[in-house]
Amino acid sequence: MSSTPYAVPEVVDLAVLNDAALDARLQALIDGKTKPLGSLGRLEALARQLGRILGREQPQLESPQVVVFAGDHGLAARGVSAYPSDVTWQMVENFLAGGAAVSVLARQHGLALTVVDAGVRHDFAPRPGLQIRKIAPGTADMLAGPAMSAAQCQAALAAGAEVVRGLPGNALIFGEMGIGNTSAAALILARLSGQPIERCAGRGTGLDDAALQRKLELLRGVLARHPSPVEPLEVLATFGGFEISQMSGAVLQAAAERRVILVDGFIVGAAVLVAARLRPAVLQRCVFAHLSDESGHRLMLDELGAQPLLQLGLRLGEGSGAALAWPLLESACRILAEMASFESAGVSNKEHQ
């Protein structure tokens, strides 16, 4: 491990996915299906990407996992959210009880659900489906100092990676819960993109106009308080949350293991943005589920060079948008594996005559 305070774990050494022969076989396989060339649109591109990530002409998604990271934020006490901080731990209980939106969608699609206490200001009773990886009971107030220390940031990255190493399968959906975390994500985006905070921050949990202006004023103050961090991990430690930091570590580990990463919305996007600034090849392993209704998400996706699968006006988080997009990944794999070719079906292929 490097002695620098913000070192990327040595395990994370991502190779660029560059198998021209596999790409050619995937394209030929798709083009040979009983359909006009390109007629399945973006589903064809998705099928090629899944094959490339998993290194197979007929990729199969095995033991898919939803992992929801939860953490509290010191800045929440200043009123950046329409909801109190207690909602964080209460929603963790709701996830575990099966009553949250992502819980319902995970059941519907056969996705295993794990909830991670990355730094919630509450003590949970141990139970199945819950992992306690608490770095601290919430981050610090960013107007007083960095959200976390360098050591805490490193511990969070390592904890997220460890969560992934302990889970089966080759496909992951990451979700989050943390009152105030749209502010943390907006600050990360603003500093890493160089865009003004007004373009990056939105209404979060549903702030009215006056509350939104107070939030923007507060976030401008935070950025002025910390003018120097520009390196990805220092930005993460200064402005992030424990749940965002653990997700960054989890994304890096999942990418290193060549798992498919189905990216949810704005908050998960911030974790991916940090990971991608550290290791750009992360993005080859990422499928972006949807464009959310949070105003900074389009800018986030542009920074990531990403084209989302869905646009449903969602702004819930939890991994819910990614769970909704999951069937598209299954369909793309089934098209490769089960759809007949012109030759096998005995159908004339006009476009190849």
Burial of 336 (0-12, 13-18, 19+ CB in 10 A): buried
| Contact in structure between 17 and 284 (CB atoms under 8 Å) | yes
Helix (H) or strand (E) holding 343: helix 342-345
Annotated active-site residue in 318, 330, 338, 343: 318
**Phi–psi pair at 65, nearest 5 degrees:** -120, 140
Structure tokens at 106: 């995970």
Burial of 38 (0-12, 13-18, 19+ CB in 10 A): exposed
CA distance 269 to 173: 12
DSSP 284: G
- Count the helix, strand and coil residues of the chain and give each as a percent rounded to the nearest 5: 50, 10, 40
Torsion of CA 145, 147, 149, 155, to 10 degrees: 180
Helix (H) or strand (E) holding 220: helix 209-225
| Contact in structure between 88 and 177 (CB atoms under 8 Å) | yes
DSSP 350: G
Q: What single string gives the DSSP state of each residue in 290-306?
A: B--SSTTHHHHHHHHT-
**Does residue 330 have an active-site annotation?**
no
Indicate the SS3 state at residue 160. helix
Q: CB under 8 Å to 43, separation ≥6 — which residues?
A: 328, 331, 332, 335
CA distance 236 to 185: 9
Task: Report, as residue numbers or ranges, the catalytic residues.
Answer: 318
